[in-house]
Structure 1
Amino acid sequence: MRKEIQEYIQSSPDLIKFMREQPQWYRKLARNPNDTKALNVAMMNHYQKTIPHKVAQFSNSIQMASMMLGMFQSMKQQD
């Protein structure tokens, strides 16, 4: 594997962890060193760091907070 690819991987702890979990990327990058964008996209999808994933997580948090607020309001009305 090329030195600049190794340095690119070493620059991010998430990439290091992803490469250890998905060793097939070592072969892919050895064969095609220009595939760093695909590596980054695969890593972001794997760790759910893309914008759609973050929006879904935020939406789930809002729904949970709304449900908790509804529960507290119904408990308050019962007293």
Structure 2
Amino acid sequence: MRQDVFELINGNQDLKMYIRLQPFWYRALMRNPHQLDKMETEAAYFFKKSIPHRVTKFSDGVQMTSMLLHMFEAMNTQS
């Protein structure tokens, strides 16, 4: 594996864990180090750190907060 690719993977805990969980990337990156971008994208989806996952997580948080707010308002109107 090229030294620059190895250092990049070692510097990023998510990539390091992903390459340990998906060992076929060792061979793929040794043959074609330009696939590093593809591996980074797949690792982001694997660890649910991609933009769609972050938007969904934020949306779920807003929904939960809204539901709790409505519940507290309903409790206050009953008292």
| TM-score when normalising by structure 1 | 0.90
1:3 aligns with 2:21: no
Question: Any residues of structure 2 matched to 1:1-79 within 5 Å, and which?
Answer: 1-79=1-79
CA RMSD between the two structures: 1.1
Once the two structures are TM-superposed, the CA of residue 33 in structure 1 deviates from its matched residue by 1.3
Identity value in percent: 41
Q: Following superposition, which runs of at least 4 residues in structure 1 exceed 6 angstroms of deviation?
A: none
Structure number with the higher helix fraction is 2
- Distance in 2 (CA, whole Å) between partners of 1:70 and 1:20 is 45
Unaligned runs of 5+ in 1: none
Calculate the TM-score normalised by the size of structure 2: 0.90
Size of the aligned set, in residue pairs, is: 79
Partner Cα distance (1:63, 1:10) in 2: 37
Deviation at 1:59, TM superposition (A): 0.5
Distance 2:6 2:15 in 1: 10
Tell me, in whole angstroms, the C-alpha distance in 2 between the residues paired with 1:76 and 1:22: 52
Separation of aligned partners in 2, 1:58 and 1:6: 33
